[in-house]
Amino acid sequence: MSNIDENKLHQGEPEIDELTKDRYLGGHEYDGIRELDNKLPRWWVYLFFVTIIFAVVYLLGYHVIKSESVKKLFPLQEAEYTNDSIAIAKLRGANPEPTVDLATMVPLTATTDLAAGEATYKKICFACHGPQGQGLVGPNFTDQYWIYGDTLTKTVSIQNLYQVVITGVIAKGMISYKDQLSPVQIQQVLSFILSLQGTNPPNPKPHQGVKYEKIG
Ligand code: HEC
């Protein structure tokens, strides 16, 4: 904008401050205080234009243009939620929750599984079965005696113990962990428990149940 144009805007000759030679903005004065007609800094003006362009794009993108391709670029909250739900469903499909087959289940031996089992044990089971599996309210896991073994085949299997954890022994104070632990977590914690065999911790609880030489 040229000087002449600006002068016209302020109707006639601009008043100039004697001391600084700056122009006054005409029209108002309060208690002798007047406003100078300073030029806005360039960066500020450009930023202002950017906000205007942003507002137009935002309005058109989110609220005016209804075409599918534009909606994809500017999804509203509801659309974002749907998109995320679809993405999560896809992820779940690619990494399904590991399942266990009870019929063929064997104790796990990988250190990561045993560590996960130990973590569950130390969170839930230790309170009744003792920190080292030596038994407290619940039976000792470090000896060869089991209450819920299979007397017919003379073995105690992870399946036998799985059943105890799934149904619980309410009369004796152990609840069912069916809803708290996933099948894999139960398999892991039982694998950890079975790995305690023969560890001889101090103050073991006396044997309960029947002696089983074999773990199957
Ligand atoms: C509130 C106490 C309590 C908690 C907690 C508890 N149990 Fe038990 N558990 C018992 C009792 C008591 C028995 C013995 C039941 C009986 O005498 O019939 C038992 C028995 C068992 C048996 C059968 C042992 C055998 O000799 O056949 C297994 C396996 C077992 N618990 C696993 C677990 C696991 C795994 C956890 C943790 C997820 C757990 N328990 C948490 C009290 C508990």
Q: Is the CB of 72 under 6 A from ligand 1?
A: no
Neighbours of 118 (CB within 10 A): 19
Q: Which two tokens stand for residue 97?
A: 């929750």
Beta bridge partner(s), residue 16 = 23
CA distance 105 to 41: 75
CA of 148 to the centre of ligand 1 (A): 10
Residue 61 has pLDDT above 60, yes or no: yes
pLDDT digits (tens, 9 = 90+) for 125-155: 999 999 999 999 999 999 999 999 988 888 8
Residue 176 has pLDDT above 90, yes or no: yes
Q: Is the CB of 192 under 6 A from ligand 1?
A: no
* Closest protein CA for atom 14 of ligand 1: 138
What was the pLDDT predicted at 186? 96
* Closest protein CA for atom 19 of ligand 1: 138
Residue 194 has pLDDT above 50, yes or no: yes
User: What pTM did the predictor assign?
Assistant: 0.65
Q: Which of 1-15, 68-82, 118-132, 144-158 has the highest mean pLDDT?
A: 118-132
